Chains A and B, each alone.
Chain A
Amino acid sequence: SYMLTQPPSMSVAPGQAARITCGGDSLGTHVVHWYQQKPGQAPVLVLYDDTDRPSGIPDRFSGSRSGTTATLTISRVEAGDEADFYCQFWDSSGDRRRVVFGGGTKLTVL
């Protein structure tokens, strides 16, 4: 099945920036959304429509999209940011209707 491509893992020191990428041909024509999932918890939406933050999400979380790659940037990373991150889009190409997730990126804060 179709899946967006994310790096499986990345590590970053506290105070540094983390940039998590999400790639897929369909991203050239679809907006992307991002979720954070901490161990044992449900996912939480942190960005939608490429760049918008839901209420309560710190402005350290930002997003961008260029061509077929979307990027979630977490500036000034904190220990509490350690989690799995997933990108997602709603595929409505032609007659197709489906939701596609990336494989997830495990962010470790050193």
Chain B
Amino acid sequence: QVQLVESGGGLVKPGGSLRLTCAVSGLDFGDSHMNWIRQSPGKGLEWIAYSSRSGRLLVYADSVTGRFTISRDSAKNAVYLVMNSLRADDTAVYYCASGWNSFHHWGQGTLVAVSS
């Protein structure tokens, strides 16, 4: 059974930082493209970051380029999202999802709230 479990969300002040973790099981992690996708309250889905299987190709949405970093650890079957210089409009549920082109497996999400 495939499981993606996000953690690390919480309340952070504007300008602060946070690291999200997505623990993956039931998948060949080394063969899995990984993504982070977020959803602001009451809004639609916004893809924000992609990591290739090797981790050598990283792609970001314009809205987070220069502030967020995606990485992966094959030994731990985990993908991370380091978020710096957080702003109020980064408030969202953050999902990790596997796949390239389409996203076949999703986690349940972790809530990040940016507020003073």
> Is B a genuine binding partner of A?
yes
User: Does any Cβ of B come within 8 Å of A1's Cβ?
Assistant: yes
Secondary structure of the B contact surface, majority rule? loop
Chain A: residues with Cβ within 8 Å of the partner, total of 25
Kindly list chain A residues whose C-beta atoms are within 8 Å of the C-beta of B47: 88, 98-101
Say whether, besides A1-B63, A98-B59, A33 and B45 are in contact (CB < 8 Å).
Answer: no
Kindly list chain A residues whose C-beta atoms are within 8 Å of the C-beta of B108: 41-42
Query: Given the complex of chains A and B, what is the CA–CA distance between A49 and B99 in angstroms?
Result: 13
Asked if B101 and A43 make an inter-chain contact with CB atoms under 8 angstroms apart, the answer reads no
Chain B: residues with Cβ within 8 Å of the partner, total of 21
**B70-104: which residues lie under 8 A (CB-CB) from chain A?**
95, 100-104
Query: Given the complex of chains A and B, what is the CA–CA distance between A102 and B44 in angstroms?
Result: 8
User: Does any Cβ of B come within 8 Å of A44's Cβ?
Assistant: yes
Asked if A42 and B45 make an inter-chain contact with CB atoms under 8 angstroms apart, the answer reads no
Query: Given the complex of chains A and B, what is the CA–CA distance between A42 and B108 in angstroms?
Result: 5
User: Does any Cβ of A come within 8 Å of B51's Cβ?
Assistant: no
Query: Given the complex of chains A and B, what is the CA–CA distance between A103 and B43 in angstroms?
Result: 8
Kindly list chain B residues whose C-beta atoms are within 8 Å of the C-beta of A1: 61-63
Say whether, besides A1-B63, A42-B109, A43-B106, A86 and B44 are in contact (CB < 8 Å).
Answer: yes
What would 17 more interface pairs be, CB under 8 Å, given A33-B102, A37-B45?
A1-B61, A35-B103, A42-B109, A43-B103, A45-B103, A45-B104, A48-B101, A48-B104, A54-B104, A88-B102, A90-B101, A90-B102, A98-B59, A99-B35, A99-B37, A99-B47, A99-B50
User: What are 16 A-B contacts defined by CB distance under 8 Å?
Assistant: A1-B62, A33-B101, A35-B45, A42-B107, A42-B108, A45-B103, A54-B104, A88-B47, A88-B102, A88-B103, A90-B102, A97-B59, A100-B47, A101-B46, A103-B44, A104-B44
